[in-house]
């Protein structure tokens, strides 16, 4: 199997996996970064959201061969901040967003990517940016409130 060098959370990692292995499974099964969650596996739910060069992407439908390049910087929920002090994480705690919690890593990564490109999003921009992240518990009101709080 080919060996890939990946740049994740500001460190280089080597993995031996098939070229079409989804990044989600590289993170979870090969690098023990299990904060990124498996939801649907077909790019529909957002549970597996990570950042690729600061932009939100779905790791379940991203083959490892597409990111094996020093210019491709991956950030996972584990790398978003050293100890949970990212403004989005702080807002999540303040608003007490999670219910079951399963989708929250993906939600937080999508919110952080939105604030990377738009530091002061409108209510509609928040709703649009977060609309691809599903929450079976229906915590959308608190999610949108926390994103707005993080932006202030
Ligand atoms: Fe990737 Fe659902 S697990 S979008």
Judge if 74 and 11 occupy the same domain.
Answer: yes
ipTM for the predicted complex comes to 0.97
> Same domain for 64 and 9?
yes
Please give the DSSP secondary-structure letter assigned to residue 38: P
pLDDT of the chain, 152 residues: tens digit per residue: 789 999 999 999 999 999 999 999 999 999 999 999 999 999 999 999 999 999 999 999 999 999 998 899 999 999 999 888 999 999 999 999 999 999 999 999 999 999 999 999 999 999 999 999 999 999 999 999 999 999 98
Domain that holds residue 108: 87-151
Positive or negative: CA dihedral 91, 150, 141, 56: negative
- 40 touches ligand 1 (CB under 6 Å): yes
Same domain membership, residue 67 and residue 36: yes
Residues 75 and 110 in one domain: no
Please tell me the residue having the least CA distance from ligand 1 atom 4.
Answer: 43
Tokens 């994103």: give the residue.
147
Same domain, 62 and 103: no
Edge-to-edge strands, sheet with 49-52: 11-16, 3-8, 73-75, 49-52, 55-58
The last residue of one of the domains, among 27, 51, 79, is 79
Domain boundary residue, one of 55, 79, 103:
79
| 4 Rama sector, left if φ>0, alpha if ψ -120 to 50, beta otherwise | beta
Best of 36, 47, 130, 133 for a ligand 1 pocket test (most atoms within 8 Å of beta carbon): 47
46 Cα: distance to centroid of ligand 1 (angstroms): 5
Residue 41 is given by DSSP the state S
Considering 44, 79, 114, which residue would you say is the last residue of a domain?
A: 79
Q: Could you tell me if 69 and 130 lie in one domain?
A: no
Q: Using a 6 Å cutoff on CB, does residue 109 contact ligand 1?
A: no
DSSP readout, 106-141? HHHHHHHHHHHH-SS--HHHHHHHHTTS--TT--HH
- The pTM for the full model equals 0.96
Locate the ligand 1 atom nearest the alpha carbon of residue 39 and give its number.
Answer: 3
């Amino acid at each position: 199997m080919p060996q890939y060098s990946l740049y994740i959370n500001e460190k280089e990692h080597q993995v031996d996996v098939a070229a079409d292995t989804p990044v989600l499974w590289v993170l979870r099964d090969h690098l023990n970064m299990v904060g990124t969650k498996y939801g649907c596996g077909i790019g529909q739910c957002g549970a597996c959201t990570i950042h690729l060069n600061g932009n939100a992407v779905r790791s379940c439908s991203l083959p490892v061969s597409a990111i094996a390049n020093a210019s491709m910087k991956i950030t996972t929920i584990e790398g978003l901040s050293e100890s949970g002090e990212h403004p989005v994480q702080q807002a999540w705690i303040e608003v007490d967003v999670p219910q079951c919690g399963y989708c929250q890593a993906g939600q937080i990564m999508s919110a952080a990517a939105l604030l990377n490109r738009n530091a002061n999003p409108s209510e509609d921009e928040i709703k649009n940016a977060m609309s691809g992240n599903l929450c079976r518990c229906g915590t959308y009101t608190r999610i949108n409130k926390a994103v707005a709080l993080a932006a202030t």
